[in-house]
Structure 1
């Protein structure tokens, strides 16, 4: 009888050893894990350029509103200055007067030439007539330049968009009187960035070129599908005890300026235990792992890091785990 029991124990040990060897095993060790802190980033534009009035006057046309898409050089408003019409009328009147003076000077020059040829006129009179004609001709050219100047000022009544982008704010209304250089609208460049503010204690961990992870649009509590971005600029001045930095990400999308998104930034590394999550089993609300000797121990898992679960307690470095066998 004793021999029979001994044989059964030996066979059981071999069977258990064969099952254990057939199971996948994992050796527990400490691994470096990058800590990430979730902060709120604000969508900003790289450049915000005001479209300014080039002349003073009254806005007679306002062609854009907040949210309008504009291109560089597009007319977004028109300004009318009534004084320009009066100046143009004055220029036209002086031009007509000078044209009449030119005809008179040409007649006087022709008479002086004939008198000089006949000997009845002096050379001084001839030179005076030529000089008078030259003066009138040059005055006409100056008046033409003044006319072009008035026309250019009228053309500058068109307020042009300085860049391609979206109108964020319109600072004037139809019929308003504006001065030269006054902003009519603010145009946001179409290149967006994420502006983050990190607590001062993490200032040493954020540098230009560091990767960050960007969550989904909106403030929902759903699991984020993280996208990777890059720290573009770290500002040297702290604001309210926080480090300010800009993050770039490709295909950010059509966001509102000022919209907030969750961003995860690195705050250093620490040593921790990571095991494949499929080595965990749940019984009665507790998490277990199976050691190499067949015993089950309770562990306290933390976050899932891409299929690797962090273990806070219950395991030691060097422990060997067996992967649970799926029930058939």
Structure 2
């Protein structure tokens, strides 16, 4: 205690410069965790039911839009195609016979041996067979299109987030084969509802991803509050998409308050206590303080003083305080 009393009461020669302490408006920050989300999270679905015979991607692979991800085969389509081919072949034979009958009928009609009604019936039979063959060809094209739909394509360019199926499994129409995340990434945060009124689109936020502090912009605040929390999206330039769902610490501005700030260089530590030099009527004296959070004002490192100073105190730079 004698040492502490001596440090508190020691006076020094009056320094040439002193900085009066004045209240400064600072921003209050709320620390929350944000989750990295893909802007577009689209499932690649099977359009054809069948067996998954080929799966060419896995979780984490980068894909381009339209890239083949998997191939599904339905064996029944081959049998249907073969049945249509056989029917078409039979109808083609009937058509050839009907065209021969029509040709003979037209010759007989020209010689006056047969009637016009008989020739018209033969011509109608030829047209009917041609229509039936055309219908079979259309059905065959439908089957060919169904076979092509067995190829599952990437809906967007991005990274494969999930592959819930395995090669050899049976896939149903509409079943998800892979989930692709694309279109970039953003942070989604959930903030307690008491801070909802203080959030505004365009606010600058701070975040840390383990690689140094970064800044982002509050892009959207959703109006629906669920579970006592309001959801918001944060745009961050260059946010990686290697780990969708990763959590990052985010600091949001939720208000302002008045505080006394002193330059960090004006604080000295002795015997485990923090002091600042003050100009008094009798000279320069050390005063014990309780420091708070660090801030940066116009590029100068400042420290909030919780206790020990009042507005109007003249702070002396630590370099100008004697350490005797």
The answer, yes or no, to whether TM exceeds 0.5 is yes
Higher strand share: 2
Distance 2:54 2:242 in 1: 29
Does residue 32 of the first structure (1) align with residue 25 of the second (2)? yes
Does residue 146 of the first structure (1) align with residue 170 of the second (2)? no
Instruction: Select 2:259's aligned residue among 272, 281, 291.
Output: 272
Q: CA deviation at 1:272?
A: 0.5
The equivalent residue for 1:115 is: 108
The Cα offsets for residues 123-169 of structure 1, whole Å up to 9 and x where unpaired, read as 11221222221222222222211111111111111111111122222
SS in 1 for 2:77: helix
Q: Is the 8 A contact 2:22 2:311 kept in 1?
A: yes
SS in 2 for 1:109: helix
Distance 1:107 1:216 in 2: 83
What TM-score comes out, normalization by structure 1 length? 0.87
Specify every segment of 5 or more residues in structure 2 that has no aligned partner in the other structure, as ranges.
1-12
The Cα offsets for residues 110-132 of structure 1, whole Å up to 9 and x where unpaired, read as 11111111111211122122222
Distance 1:196 1:105 in 2: 75
The equivalent residue for 2:221 is: 234
The equivalent residue for 2:234 is: 247
Q: Is the 8 A contact 2:44 2:152 kept in 1?
A: yes
Does residue 93 of the first structure (1) align with residue 80 of the second (2)? no
The Cα offsets for residues 284-308 of structure 1, whole Å up to 9 and x where unpaired, read as 2222222233222222211211201
The equivalent residue for 1:308 is: 302
Computed over aligned residues only, the root mean square deviation of the Cα atoms, in angstroms, reads 1.9
SS in 1 for 2:72: strand
Could you list the structure 1 runs, at least 4 aligned residues long, displaced by more than 4 angstroms after superposition.
Answer: none
The equivalent residue for 1:69 is: 62
Specify every segment of 5 or more residues in structure 1 that has no aligned partner in the other structure, as ranges.
1-15, 218-223
**Which stretch has the larger CA shift, 233-242 or 68-77?**
233-242
Instruction: Select 2:316's aligned residue among 310, 313, 322.
Output: 322
Q: Is the 8 A contact 2:60 2:242 kept in 1?
A: no
Q: CA deviation at 1:107?
A: 0.7
Distance 1:256 1:325 in 2: 48
Q: Is the 8 A contact 1:59 1:176 kept in 2?
A: yes
Q: CA deviation at 1:190?
A: 4.8
Q: Is the 8 A contact 1:76 1:159 kept in 2?
A: yes
Distance 2:218 2:34 in 1: 12
Q: CA deviation at 1:324?
A: 3.0
Equivalent positions of 1:272-291 (< 5 A) are: 272-291=259-278
Distance 1:172 1:192 in 2: 25
Does residue 263 of the first structure (1) align with residue 241 of the second (2)? no
Q: CA deviation at 1:309?
A: 1.0
Q: Is the 8 A contact 1:39 1:198 kept in 2?
A: yes
The equivalent residue for 2:49 is: 56
SS in 2 for 1:119: coil
SS in 1 for 2:133: helix
